[in-house]
Every structure is written in C-alpha cells, then in structure tokens.
Amino acid sequence: MLSREEVDGYIGKLADGSVDYDEVEEGLWLVASGDDELKVVINYTPPVVVMRVNVMDLPSDAAAQTKLMRKVLQFNTELVHGAYGLEGQHIVLTSAHQLENLDFNEFQASFDDIDLALASHVPVLAENGEA
C-alpha cells in the first residue's frame, strides 16, 4: 500500500514538477489545476486516495438545474477515471483509487482526467447553469 510520503511524491511528479501544491494538513493537499480558480483536493485516507473538486453551485432556478444536470450526465460519459456528482447544493468532480496497487501512471491519468474536464467542461456547465 502506498504511504502518504509516496502520494506526496506522486503529486510532486505531476507535470514534471510544474504543478503547484500545498499540503494543508497531513494527508490533505490542494493542487493547482489548469484552472487557477479551481483547486483539486487530494485526500490520503487509507485504503484509498481521493481527488475532488468543487465545480460550481447549483442554480436556484429549477429549469436551469434541469438543463445543467442533463449536461453533467452527458459529461460523465466522457470521464475515464472520475465522475460528477452532487454534494448538497454543489456539483463536485471526484475520483478515488485503491492505494494497494496504485502506480504513478494511473495517478497522473486520473489527475489529467480531472484537469481536462475542468478546462473543457466547466465553461459549458457555467453557461448551462444560467437561468
């Protein structure tokens, strides 16, 4: 099973070390993605490591929510490692992996999947979430 230190090393290797990150508490990192406003939270909680992003709040208008949720479900089919979901009134993007046999390539692919989703999906989601 990967240790916290090994996960920290994986984070440091992302994009050849050019990704900014900060361990805000033991086993919990904030990692800059391609979108400067959205940070990927990486949480080391054995036996898994979880990557998570708060994408946006749900609009209050029911018609806008319906339009937005349809788009979110469509985007879920494009994700390889993660999925969009709801947490209260927030749309989140998450990915979880077993630490038992997680290698760096899978870790990076999962982070890249999230990073690409943030770059390509969030502008469309923001547009669809308007009333």
Instruction: Report pLDDT digits (tens) over 12-50.
Output: 998 777 788 999 999 999 998 765 678 999 999 999 999
pTM of the model: 0.91
The pLDDT value recorded for residue 74 is: 95
Beta-carbon contacts of residue 27 (< 8 Å; ≥ 6 apart): 4, 7, 43, 44, 45
Distance CA 104, CA 34 (A): 19
Question: What is residue 131's predicted lDDT score, i.e. its pLDDT?
Answer: 47
Class of domain 4-128: alpha beta
Task: Read off the pLDDT of residues 91-102 as tens digits, 9 standing for 90 and up.
Answer: 999 999 999 999
Name the token pair of 9: 């090393």
